[in-house]
Chains A and B, each alone.
Chain A
Amino acid sequence: MKRLLPLFLLVLLFGGCEGRSSFLSPQGPIAAAQSQHFWYVVTVMMVVCLPVFIGVPWIILRYRYKHGRGDYSPRWHFSKPLEILVWGVPVLVVIALGIKLAHATMTLDPYKPLAGDAVEIQVIGYDWKWLFIYPEQGIATVGDLVFPADRPVSFRITSDTVMQSFFIPALGSQIYAMKGMETRLNLAATGVGEFLGENSQYSGDGFATQSFAVHAVSEEDFATWAESGKADGMPFDRTALEALQAQSTRSELLDTLGVSGESVVFTDAPPDLFTSVATDPSRMGAMQ
């Protein structure tokens, strides 16, 4: 039984090797803090786990029925010092973990803006693709999420269909996207790189294909990319909007739009598209 523990750790370490999609090889400050927190919890938890991993085999060997050693006291059922230990240690561990929990939850709050001049990107989830709107650059994309690596990104997220979850594992947190509501997520990359982005909430037939390529690029590359998108992209017209709203995978969408490749850039995004999806006119009060 004791062998299971190393096996488990091995699986975890194996998980750490792969770059693009794991927070354990973090590509941004949020994921880095999460990775560090992960190992902190695992380590502290060993205080309560190791006694089980070691104690159980030891007890069943020492007190085994045949040829067992150690005394036999069938009525023994209470010991004050042990009782204090058995309750006390878990309490201390939970205190140690709880303080860290509270701290990490506040500092890694996805709504909390990161230091620096953030790029705003509006995200709308459709069946089964994401639309990324760059209000400052005046463009929008499907399939590619591009941002400058040395600036934080502030995502404003909503959905024009069922609930989805916007997730870039290598950078850290995810957050739900819900119709008529806006959620927020602040992430950043530590350097130039390519990561996997996905929807992690099952949303129907095309769910598995609802991923996107995340590119953290240099400031200049970003500017060039945005300008060429503005110049050479597709217009965001009615057809485009209807195609987005239809139930289709990204590649079906691109076929409809007559675009080859994995992604498309629109030259102009309707400035109020995001707000109109993210607010529900029938909900009277102010809702975030």
Chain B
Amino acid sequence: MSDLWSLVFGRLTLDALPVLEIIHATNGRELASGIVGTTAAGLAVLGALYLVYALTKYHLWGPLWRDWLTSVDHKKIGIMYVVLALVMLARALAEAFVMRTQQALGDGGGGLVSNEHFAQLFSTHGTIMIFFMAMPFLTGLINYVMPLQIGSRDVAFPTMNSVSLGFTAAGAVLLMISLVLQPFSTGGWTGYPPFTEAAFNPGPGPDYWIWAVTLSGIGTTLSGINFVVTIYKFRCDGMKLMDMPLFCWTSLCTSILMIFALPPLTVATGLLALDRYLGFHMFTNDGGGNMMNFANLFWLFGHPEVYILILPAFGVYSEVFSTFSSKTLYGYTALVIATMCIAVLSFTVWVHHFFTMGQSANLNAIFGIATMLIGIPTGVKIYDWMLTMYRGRVRMAVPMVYAVAFLILFTIGGLSGILLANPSLDYVMHNTLFLVAHFHNMLIPGLLFGMLAGYTLWFPKAFGFILDPKWGYRAAYLWIAGFVFAFFPLYGLGILGMPRRMAEYFNGAWFPLTLVALLGAVMIIAAFACLCIQLYVSIKNREALAVPMGDPWDSRTLEWAVPAPAPEWNFPATPEVEGRDAFATLKEGGYDLRAPDDGYHDIEMPRNSALGPVLMVGSTAMAFGLVWYMWWLAALGAMVCFAATVACGFRRNTHRIVKAEDVKAEWEAFCALADTTPRIPRSLEQTTQNMGHASPASEEITS
């Protein structure tokens, strides 16, 4: 019987269910921990069941498959990435809240979750936030926006784009499964061996981490290749590299980083997998293994990774500052050079993540100085954004609230970063909450606010209506205040010597600040709730909030030249542009909203492909099989992936034609609508009168 069981289920037993923690609880804290874990798992299962139920009830399986999952349209893939990011954000925020509660209660060893459970929480929180929230979010925005901004119809390899999404989603699914069939790794988002080696953690936890991260890494590498080729090869006529919107530049640099930075991660997790599955000695304590090699490989990826995360946000901010100041970007060339400098320098600083590993002072000094050098181009960017607002007309719309908060808060994060760049200071702040405060200070005002600003900015382009501003402001202010309360105390705690990743502590001096941080976490949860309400309210009022003319913010770049939501083929004919701020130039000359110069033509669009979703299912099955030693499932999953990929190579009928008449009809209706839609001044921008038809700012502002 047990032989049969293990043949089918590998090492998966009922012990994997989180309820068991309740049953085996020996004290109050373990009981609470079990309840928290079971509730989380229950929510995940209920959510999945509800989704299945709703899809069945409203007969949505067909549309879901045809219009979304198998779609290779860059816009739909972009939206699916962002949806994935928001779902994962909800989970990771809930985990952050539990961690903050635990630390506020953990003085003297009390609390809500056990040490082991807390360790899983920081590991999943970190892994999700980086790989399954931030990465999908920025990949989604790039996917949606970048092809439109360069006047292209799609990315270079549409099917591969869907495959990238499939791999990323597979990793995310694996993480969601680990909530129900526990445990996940306790090794943090960095997964340092030897702790994650079989000698110390033989269970499935580290394997979940390895495969989730590896899958997402493969997806990201493919995305990077796709974006780079798109930007090099698919720009419309007249758009020189130095004319691209800054968001495209940051997308380009991020994609280059993705291509070069992700392979070391895949190698590191691959070698760790060899250790764990086949008894190699890469990073083990014995047999000549050396964990320092893992640290080097991991951060060879990890440091460029944080710039992969931040650069697209910089791109969003560049668009936001320029749009909401009604002014062209200050110092475009400098911003491009600075972005490139950051991208190159990001590969030269990885050692600063382990100054305390015992290498020589000379080496540390060199890497410390290299780290500080990154501060120069970053500082230049901050000043350039300020100078973009200078001599403009600054409208504090919701994206701008995030952007202005970013300028101030990010500067504080930069200050703490420069402090940590000093090896001799890092010696006293490494591994403390000061470091946790520093990187959240970069990631929340930097990355997350940028993503939320971009979400607010481009939402109307994707769905045809703007997001309700009232709830938008509430969310933004709560995010800002919540961040300040949740993380500034952590600087203090770090200086008081409190290590990171600590579930309980025995030093009363740390208690008050953990309480303040909990308050901040409450505000952040409220902020996220406001975002959900905002979405709900906006969908309900979508008629009133509609902006069919597609230019709600009087913007300057090409994506705003088309209706909202953007038509499947993006542009009736590939645009021809001149200079920067292509759409602003068109508007000034009155050349927007025109029929294409040489008439309408048939448009060839890629057909749907099932490869992405099939690979997603196949690779999830393979990874799940590997985690639990269900070898048949792993083999089956691998075979499905292989067979589907080969079969895809035999497809011949890969494109379909959109008829010129249809394009013409749709575009002429759009132009006709323009004649009847009033242009509105910027003062009415965030009202229901905004139909997406902007009157030029220069007419309004006379100074």
Interface residues of A, Cβ cutoff 8 Å to B: 1, 4-5, 7-8, 11-12, 14-16, 18, 20-24, 31, 33-34, 37-38, 41-42, 45, 48-49, 51-53, 55-56, 59-60, 63-66, 68, 70-79, 82-83, 86-87, 89-91, 94, 97-98, 100-102, 104-112, 161-163, 165, 167, 169-170, 172-176, 178-181, 183-184, 196, 198-209, 211, 280, 282-284, 288
In the complex, what residues of A have CB within 8 A of residue B392's CB? Answer: 63, 72, 74
Q: Which of B334, B407, B501 contacts A83 (CB 8 A)?
A: B334
Which residue of chain A has the shortest Cβ distance to B504 in the bound complex? A208
Q: How far is the CA of A163 from the CA of B190 in the complex (A)?
A: 13
Task: Decide: B408 and A181 in contact? CB cutoff 8 A.
Answer: no
Main secondary structure of the interface of A (DSSP, over half): mixed
Partner of A163, one of B192, B389, B408: B192
Known: A74-B697, A205-B115. A176 touches B356 (CB 8 A): yes
Are B507 and A21 within 8 A (Cβ)? yes
| Additional 13 contacts, C-beta under 8 A, given A89-B379, A284-B288 | A11-B489, A41-B425, A45-B415, A59-B386, A77-B331, A97-B372, A101-B369, A162-B194, A162-B285, A174-B430, A196-B497, A201-B431, A202-B499
Q: How far is the CA of A183 from the CA of B391 in the complex (A)?
A: 56
Query: Taking the nearest CB of chain B, how far is it from the CB of A186, in angstroms?
Result: 12
Q: Is the CB of B390 within 8 A of A63?
A: yes
A-B contacts counted at CB < 8 A amount to 313
Residues in chain B near residue A33, CB distance under 8 A: 424
* Distance in Å: Cβ of A174 to nearest Cβ of chain B: 6
Chain A residue, CB-CB nearest to B408: A1
Rounded to whole angstroms, the CA-CA distance of A165 and B64 in the bound complex is 51
Instruction: Show 17 A/B contacts (Cβ-Cβ < 8 Å), sorted by A.
Output: A8-B412, A11-B488, A11-B492, A14-B492, A21-B496, A53-B411, A59-B389, A64-B396, A66-B683, A74-B698, A83-B334, A97-B418, A102-B368, A174-B427, A200-B500, A201-B431, A204-B195
Known: A34-B428, A48-B379, A104-B424. A63 touches B325 (CB 8 A): yes
B671 at the binding interface (Cβ < 8 Å): no
Cβ-based interface call for B703 (8 A):
yes
Report yes or no: B368 in contact with A105, Cβ–Cβ below 8 A. Answer: yes
* Chain B interface size range: 35 or more
A177: min CB distance to chain B, Å:
10
Check if B423 is an interface residue, CB within 8 A of chain A: yes
Bound complex: CA of A20 vs CA of B497, how far in Å?
9
A173 to B500, CA, bound (A): 16
**Quick check: is B146 within 8 A (CB to CB) of the other chain?**
no
Q: For A14, what are the chain B residues with a Cβ–Cβ distance below 8 Å?
A: 492, 513
Which residues of chain B are within 8 angstroms of A53 by Cβ–Cβ distance?
A: 408, 411
Could you tell me if A56 and B404 are in contact, using CB atoms closer than 8 angstroms? yes
Q: Tell me the minimal C-beta distance from A19 to chain B in angstroms.
A: 9
Evaluate contact between A59 and B501: CB separation under 8 angstroms.
Answer: no
Please, how many angstroms separate the alpha-carbon atoms of A5 and B415 in the complex? 11
CB <8 Å contact, A64 and B393 = yes
Interface residues of B in 360-409 (CB under 8 A from A): 360-362, 364-365, 368-369, 372-373, 375-376, 379-380, 382-384, 386-387, 389-396, 404-405, 407-409
Please indicate the chain B residues that have their CB under 8 angstroms from the CB of A22 in the complex.
495-497
* Nearest chain B residue, comparing its CB with the CB of A210: B499
| B463 interfacial contact with A, CB 8 Å | no
Complex Cα distance A65/B395, Å?
5
| Contact among B333, B427, B682 with A110 in the assembled complex (CB-CB below 8 Å) | B427
- Within 8 Å by CB of B393, from A24, A31, A48, A65, lies A65
B407 touches A72 (CB 8 A): no
| B501, A72: Cβ atoms closer than 8 Å | no
Question: In the complex, which of the residues B186, B431, B491, B505 contacts A15, with contact meaning CB atoms closer than 8 Å?
Answer: B491
Q: Is B629 part of the contact surface with A, judged by Cβ < 8 Å?
A: no
Closest residue on chain B to residue A14 by CB atoms? B492
A42–B418 Cα distance when bound, in Å, is 9
Return chain B residues, CB-CB under 8 Å to A45.
415, 418
The answer on a CB contact under 8 Å between B200 and A161 is yes
- Taking the nearest CB of chain A, how far is it from the CB of B156, in angstroms? 31
Instruction: Say whether A23 contacts B428, CB under 8 Å.
Output: yes
> Do B356 and A41 have beta carbons less than 8 Å apart?
no
Chain B residue contacts of A101, Cβ below 8 A: 365, 368-369, 372, 421-424
Which residue from B382, B507, B683 sits with its C-beta under 8 Å from A65?
B683
Instruction: Decide if A1 touches B372 in the complex (CB within 8 Å).
Output: no
* Cβ of A86 to closest chain B Cβ, rounded Å: 4
The reply to whether B491 and A12 contact each other, CB–CB distance below 8 Å, is yes
**Residues on the A chain within 8 Å of B4, using CB:** none
